[in-house]
Amino acid sequence: MINVTKTFLPPFEEYVNTLKRAWDLAWITNNGILVQELEQKLKSYLGTDNLLFTANGTVVLQMALKALNITKEVITTPFSYVATTNAILWEGATPVFVDIDPNTFCIDPQKIEAAITQNTQAILATHVYGIPCDIEKIQTIAERFGLKVIYDAAHAFGCSINGKSLLSFGDISTCSFHATKVFHSVEGGCIVSDSEEMNTQLSLLRSFGHIGDEHYCAGINGKNSEFHAAMGLVNLNYITQIISERKNLSQLYDSFLTSENLLRPTIPVNMEYNYAYYPVVVETEDVLHKIVDNLRAKGVSPRRYFYPSLNEIPQTKYLNSICPVSETTSRRVLSLPLYAGLEIHEAEMIAGTIKKVLRG
Ligand SMILES: *Cc1c(COP(=O)(O)O)cnc(C)c1O
């Protein structure tokens, strides 16, 4: 079975040897040595000062909204993983969906202003597939209307624009280190903010809101363990190799599929990309189903990332939002298998199967 992704696993010995350092201290969670070391290494890899390692890439969205006191309306993208929307709802705020740009599949900055009301407090946008949002335009709008900006950068680990990590923009950026992502710590994530003060606040929110007997706020448990940090530390040794393998496979798909009538999001030239996903948009949902059936018959399981459009799921139906670009894209988009370890002949077979369907 070839799935859309396959978790990268480092040599077992290397993981165990790293973990042993915490094991020998009998200190396996609560900001242990491996968590601290991972945070240092991530800061240096990403070039960001204020970064915290966390339990996952969802709690960080909740922590971001909490730290910025967001309780009313949040302008957000309908084309993302459902966690982006759920975090807003979970915090008791209201998502306001703004349609996506047909070239980048990220929130369309031209449409943001029309969605701003007296209750708008923030913009929560996703760098979908690791492709950057229009950061400059979003910043300009945010400054003009006094809004906070949060980026869900769950797909953007290792991506940079003009040499700057995609995790270093907005008031707060978050990332996921889930086992299905480009870089992982089994479960995990991080939150990056633009000041030491905010970092301290987020650090409190991550650990129940208290330090010793001093209580400051209603925090949550967003921290992570030495077992997870050990996996992150070891995987960081392989990240260059992982991204380069993904790049080669993406280019292989490119070369096999360029002649076909497939829409792909545009990767800007001034960015360093991480090849997190290989999405293709076909002409109709019918064609998509045909491709899926034919791939399944060959033991290949692509995924409909991201479907359905988040303005069309039960928990947001009450908003009656209409986002035509996101809706039509989500119905026709398929993410092809892409991971370190996917064989060249497998990518060839997948592309060949798609070609055959497209050419009837
Ligand atoms: C994976 C993902 C998340 C959630 O991350 P977890 O670590 O699984 O909680 C959030 N947002 C986006 C866009 C994602 O792809």
How far apart are the C-alpha atoms of 146 and 160, rounded to whole Å? 26
How far apart are the C-alpha atoms of 212 and 181, rounded to whole Å? 35
Q: Which mutation among 157, 178, 183 tests ligand 1's pocket best, with the greatest number of atoms within 8 A of CB?
A: 178
Q: Mean pLDDT of successive 10-residue segments in the chain (360 residues)? A: 94 98 98 98 97 98 98 98 98 98 98 98 98 98 98 98 97 98 98 98 98 97 98 98 98 93 94 97 97 97 95 98 98 97 96 94
pLDDT score recorded for residue 360: 83
Q: Catalogue all structural domains in the chain, each as residue range(s) with its CATH number.
A: 2-98+106-236 (3.40.640.10), 240-358 (3.90.1150.10)
Beta carbon of 58 within 6 Å of any ligand 1 atom: yes
Beta carbon of 81 within 6 Å of any ligand 1 atom: yes
Cα distances (Å, whole numbers) of residue 71 to 67, 169, 185: 11, 22, 31
User: Is the whole model's pTM more than 0.85, yes or no?
Assistant: yes
- Classify residue 280 by burial, with Cβ atoms within 10 Å: 0-12, 13-18, 19+: buried
Show contacts of 289-297: CB within 8 Å, 24+ apart.
Answer: 290/357, 291/334, 291/353, 291/354, 291/357, 291/358, 292/334, 294/353, 294/354, 294/356, 294/357, 295/350, 295/353, 295/354
pLDDT score recorded for residue 259: 84
| 8 Å CB contact between 126 and 151 | yes
In tens, the pLDDT along 57-109 reads: 999 999 999 999 999 999 999 999 999 999 999 999 999 999 999 999 999 99
Q: How far is the CA of 83 from the centre of ligand 1 (A)?
A: 6
pLDDT score recorded for residue 74: 99
Which amino acid residue places its CA nearest to atom 2 of ligand 1? 154
Beta carbon of 80 within 6 Å of any ligand 1 atom: yes
Residue type, 249: L
In tens, the pLDDT along 193-233 reads: 999 999 999 999 999 999 999 999 999 999 999 999 999 99
H, E, C per residue of the chain: CEECCCCCCCCHHHHHHHHHHHHHHCCCCCCCHHHHHHHHHHHHHHCCCEEEEECCCCHHHHHHHHHCCCCCEEEECCCCCHHHHHHHHHCCCEEEECCECCCCCCECHHHCHHHCCCCEEEEEEECHHHCCCCHHHHHHHHHHHCCEEEEECCCCCCCEECCEEHHHCCCEEEEECCCCCCCCCCCCEEEEECCHHHHHHHHHHHECCEECCEECCCCCECCCCHHHHHHHHHHHCCHHHHHHHHHHHHHHHHHHHCCCCCECCCCCCCEECCCCCCEEECCCHHHHHHHHHHHHHCCEECECCCCCCHHHCHHHHHHCCCCHHHHHHHHHEEECCCCCCCCHHHHHHHHHHHHHHHCC
Beta carbon of 245 within 6 Å of any ligand 1 atom: no
pLDDT score recorded for residue 260: 84
Atom of ligand 1 nearest to the CA of 58: 9
Beta carbon of 329 within 6 Å of any ligand 1 atom: no
Which amino acid residue places its CA nearest to atom 13 of ligand 1? 81
Q: How far is the CA of 176 from the centre of ligand 1 (A)?
A: 5
Atom of ligand 1 nearest to the CA of 188: 7
How far apart are the C-alpha atoms of 316 and 323, rounded to whole Å? 13
pLDDT score recorded for residue 261: 86
Q: How far is the CA of 26 from the centre of ligand 1 (A)?
A: 31
Q: Which mutation among 76, 84, 326 tests ligand 1's pocket best, with the greatest number of atoms within 8 A of CB?
A: 84
- Residue 60: how many CA atoms within 13 Å on its side-chain side? 30
Beta carbon of 182 within 6 Å of any ligand 1 atom: no
Q: How far is the CA of 180 from the centre of ligand 1 (A)?
A: 9
Which amino acid residue places its CA nearest to atom 5 of ligand 1? 57
Beta carbon of 77 within 6 Å of any ligand 1 atom: no
Beta carbon of 56 within 6 Å of any ligand 1 atom: yes
Beta carbon of 154 within 6 Å of any ligand 1 atom: yes
Beta carbon of 62 within 6 Å of any ligand 1 atom: no
Q: How far is the CA of 356 from the centre of ligand 1 (A)?
A: 33
Beta bridge partners of 160: 165, 272
Beta carbon of 222 within 6 Å of any ligand 1 atom: no
Torsion over CA: 181, 182, 188, 189 (sign): negative
